[in-house]
Structure 1
Amino acid sequence: MRNRDLLPVDLHRALLVGRLWLDGAPRLIAVRAGEAIDISGLAPTMSDLLDMDDPAAAVRAVRGSPIGAIDDILERSTPRRAAAGPFLLAPCDLQAIKAAGVTFVSSMIERVVEERAGGDAAQAEQFRAALVSELGSELRAIRPGSAEAARAKALLSERGLWSQYLEVGLGPDAEIFSKAQPMSAVGFGAHIGIHPRSRWNNPEPEVVLAVSSRGQVVGATLGNDVNLRDFEGRSALLLSRAKDNNASCAIGPFIRLFDDGFGLDDVRAADLMLTVDGPDGFHLSGESSMRQISRDPLDLVAQTIEYHHFPDGFVLFCGTLFAPTQDRDTPGGGFTHKIGDVVEIRSPLLGTLRNTVTTSDLAPPWTFGTRALMASLAGRVNP
């Protein structure tokens, strides 16, 4: 894939903002005419930028300073990146990193499979066919929290099929959890980390909403919400152990700001394509369509902020339709990652997020946190 193909198909009109590591410090950038433009003078952080009354208008108006060709920066954004940069960072900084789970029927069924299999991939297939037969056709058109969903819950309980995952998939309350700490997400080209003890896991291609402190959705990007199926399948109480590990959250390549040419309806209609290419020659491809989501993105945002405040804003993973069942090594063994897998998540209007799989203990340590960012910003003011 050419570097230019990693960007939105309508790049000429897409308003892209991101973060770049250069000479020991993060910079805010915009993409214009194939160039990365330093717009750090517009706002100190991405959180501040997205909290402006009209971020899109502000980015259009600022002149900024050219840094270099975006193709060259994409080329340098690899796991073997130079310490001084330039390379892309995750496009968020101070924002909370939240995620919604079980927002698609197929992924809801897979969570139940994990639970019934006790996190054992070898046992998954025997449960999957029966559950799809029992649940799939009945649940796809049901709106969570509706009277019809309540009747379905009662029926499933009678059949002995009830699950905590069906509760958040069908009930009024969405599953909203903290995916990672602010500043901890990795960006385009970086290593993405799998827990070293996990033996059953997969990527999760998702649309990620960029939300201001006022709860206004101002843009969108792509994310990989790595899923450890064995950990969470053993117990839902292991969710934080399964989700929040070093380098286990990838976001990028850029946030596309909402404007007259791109908005929430484009997010609602977004199609995501995923490929995994392994060092063993294995190839996996799949798709996820936001058209099949069971909860509207604005409902997910509303439930996130209903009883919580986010003074720095937040980014929100919307969930995924994709749950791979293709066997990789042994019949019935399903899919799991291997070190060296290259994962690409693409959506035509958002570009491509590419990462290379390693384990969380071997991924570069997270060292540049909020305190380091504050020190870096203070150094700009008082050099």
Structure 2
Amino acid sequence: MPISFDPADALGSDWRSARWLGRIDLGAGPSPVLVVDGIAYDMARVAPTVAELVAGGSFDHAQGEEIGALDAIGLSVDGLPRLLSPIDLQCVKAAGVTFAVSAMERVIEERARGDAGAAAEVRSRLEGRIGGSMRAVVPGSPEAAALKQALIDEQLWSQYLEVAIGPDAEIFTKAPVLATVGWGADVGIRSDSTWNNPEPEVVLLAGPDGRAVGATLGNDVNLRDFEGRSALLLGKAKDNNASCSLGAFVRLFDADFTMDDVRQAEITLRIEGIDGYALDGASSMNQISRDPEELLRQALSEHQYPDGLVLFLGTLFAPTQDRDVPGQGFTHKVGDTVAIETPRLGRLVNTVSTSKAAPPWRFGLTALIRNLAGRGLLA
């Protein structure tokens, strides 16, 4: 049975007054869509991809073809018309260790060698040393350099603390182009991972000029055991089938929704398992160590993105609560429902599967080009 889409739930209470950008398959293939005043417009004849629409920058819905009221067209995840991930040709980037708590958790993963059972002891020692001071340190500042030396002296320094308080942010590629999944889809964890968690984040969408045009929610699915064993396993920990999800639509910046709303976003997360387990968490963007625009600047400082990019901004959420065995902490189970929410961006809901069991990624660049050409959308 198709999973139905409710804009009031997925986009928040003020969704009708906002402008949204995303993708819908009406039957012929993916089309960029603008939603203005609650009405969806097919923009494929204006620009065949979201990337090209963003590069154009006008977002003039009047040039598109009206589809109808978003809450009345019967969108679903596995039927038609189908709701897709809101991006297409953009490179998918992520900033890691952007909060003090996440920095400490990465050090814990490293010191515990991916063993959840050993993490509690490392966590207690590290928090006793730097738990309060790191939150007040500006990355790259003289105070940060002094803290680094103190931690080196205590044999507590780590490569993760370097990117947390040093001058250079951690920026990595999260997923291939067209590989993200959207609202209501399964998210995948490696079948051989035994310690993992969701990462609820705000995600910026930027054009080829590097200017952020909007934001959405994201889940940067994380394998703590793999990355904890070695930072060189980051690729295996982060880039797997269905391991990157994005909100239903990107909310475009305007007079009523700005970067300051991103900076002040309060993100909540709830995990519900089919075993009756429930976990609530939160992430406050006002505690981020580096400003979102600074993270975007660093992502663009030595690279060009002619089709634009999205950038995950990191998370404060790092679950330590035990799920089954005392001292073993939290890890996902297949069938978990993950709901990430903030009032101005709505609610992103996904169900946890394994990367092997999740629907395989088959619609790549070749398929997209063929589809657009067959529809007469390529000049």
Q: TM-score, normalised by structure 1?
A: 0.94
Which residue in the other structure is 1:237 paired with?
Answer: 232
Question: Which residue of the partner structure matches residue 301 of structure 2?
Answer: 306
Q: 1:169 and 2:173 equivalent?
A: no
Distance 1:281 1:221 in 2: 29
* 2:150 counterpart residue number: 155
Tell me by how many angstroms 1:43 deviates.
Answer: 1.3
- Residues in 2 aligned to 1:149 and 1:318: alpha-carbon distance in whole angstroms: 21
Query: Is residue 210 from structure 1 mapped to residue 205 from structure 2 by the alignment?
Result: yes
Indicate conservation of the 8 Å contact 2:265/2:284, yes or no.
yes
Q: Which residue, out of 257, 261, 264, partners 1:266?
A: 261
Aligned counterpart, 1:107: 102
The 5 A counterparts of 1:35-74 are 35-55=39-59, 58-59=60-61, 61-67=62-68, 69-70=70-71, 73=74
Structure 2 residue corresponding to 1:348, chosen from 340, 343, 346: 343
CA distance in 1, matches of 2:83, 2:150: 49
In 1, the alpha carbon distance for the partners of 2:74 and 2:204 equals: 24
Partner of residue 8 from structure 1, selected from 7, 12, 35: 12
Structure 2: give runs of 5+ residues left out of the alignment.
Answer: none
The one-letter code of the counterpart of 2:308 is G
Q: Give the whole-Å Cα distance in 1 for the aligned partners of 2:82 and 2:129.
A: 48
Q: Say which is worse superposed, 282-291 or 229-238, in terms of deviation.
A: 282-291
Shift of residue 382 of structure 1?
Answer: 7.4
Residue by residue, what CA displacement relative to the aligned partner does 1:211-238 show, whole Å, maximum 9, x if unpaired?
1101101110110000000000000000
Counterpart mapping for 1:246-325 below 5 A: 246-325=241-320
**Residues 364 and 162 of structure 1: is their aligned pair in 2 closer, same or farther, counting only changes over 3 Å?**
same
Alignment: residue pair count = 374
Q: Could you report, residue by residue, the CA deviation over 1:273-303 in whole angstroms, capped at 9, with x for unpaired residues? A: 1111111011111110110000001111111
Taking the aligned partners of 1:241 and 1:348, their CA distance within structure 2 comes to: 33
Match of 1:26 in 2: 30
CA shift for structure 1 position 29: 1.6
Distance 2:362 2:227 in 1: 27
Match of 1:198 among 189, 193, 201: 193
Q: Are the counterparts in 2 of residues 36 and 70 from structure 1 also a CA contact under 8 Å? A: no
Amino acid of the structure 2 residue aligned with 1:252: G
TM-score w.r.t. length of structure 2: 0.95
- Give the superposition deviation at 1:240: 0.3
- Corresponding letter in the other structure for 2:56: M
Cα deviations across residues 94-132 of structure 1 (Å, max 9, x unaligned)? 000000000000000000110111001111111112211
> In structure 2, what is the Cα distance between the partners aligned to 1:150 and 1:330?
39
Contact 1:73 1:88 in 2 (8 A): no
- Percent identity between matched residues is 54
What is the rounded CA distance, in whole Å, between the counterparts of 1:278 and 1:62 in structure 2?
A: 45
Provide Cα deviations, 1:239-270, integer angstroms capped at 9, x if missing partner.
Answer: 00100000000011111111111111111111
Mapped contact 1:121–1:334 kept (Cα < 8 A): yes
Q: Name the CA distance, whole Å, in 2 between partners of 1:209 and 1:237.
A: 26
SS in 1 for 2:132: helix
Q: Report the RMSD for the aligned CA atoms in angstroms.
A: 1.7
Alpha carbons 1:51, 1:313 under 8 Å: kept: yes
Contact 2:7–2:15 (CA<8 Å) still a contact in 1?
A: no
Question: 1:7 deviation in Å?
Answer: 1.5
